[in-house]
Amino acid sequence: AGQPPNSRAGDRKARSSNRSSSYSGLKSHSILATLQKEFEARRKYLTVNINGKPARLQLDTASDLNLIFKHTWQMIGRPPMITSDKKAMNVSGGFFRLTGELECDLSFEGTHFKRPCYYSNRPKLDLIGLDWVEKLGLLDLPRNGIFNVVQ
């Protein structure tokens, strides 16, 4: 009796907006899960030799860094590294810590060079970045040629 005439309409509007935001939140999680599977299937990997051992790295031409995870570091013989306090920015704008830096002796299809690589504690984050991609000459290949060497 003491409420303004618009209060019920306002309550209904607030409730319906709460419902739609909850619903859209659930819907977006479903889309995210679907897209994640699609993106995983489309990722490209390159197997190179690091310190004489094969290592499968995800091709990431947007990355300025080359990253390896603990498992890959162990596979390539646990080469010495210096502790790093550097941070890298991920695609979402968040930061993660690079825990070490090491010199990698890289070879692939007749090309051989030494370059720095960073160690990260992030699981399954083995990336071959733009500097190694350029050094290997992958950007000079015709598009079909790249897909023949990258899996």
Give the contacts of 121 (CB within 8 A, at least 6 positions apart). Answer: 69, 70, 97, 99
- Quick one: 49 exposed, middle or buried, by C-beta within 10 A (0-12, 13-18, 19+)? middle
How much is the pLDDT for 21?
Answer: 47
Q: Whole-angstrom Cα distance, residue 36 to residue 30?
A: 10
Contact 117, 102 (CB under 8 A): yes
How much is the pLDDT for 29?
Answer: 52
Residue position matching structure tokens 């489309």: 42
Taking the whole predicted model, whether its pTM rises above 0.75 is answered as: no
- Mind giving me the DSSP string for 12-49? HHHHHHHHHHHHHHHHHHHHHHHHHHHHHHH--EEEEE
Per-residue pLDDT tens, the chain, 151 aa: give them: 555 555 455 554 444 445 444 444 455 555 555 556 666 677 889 999 999 999 999 999 889 899 999 999 999 999 999 999 999 988 888 898 999 999 999 999 999 999 999 999 888 889 999 999 999 988 887 766 555 566 6
Minimal CA–CA distance to 119: which of 97, 95, 94? 97
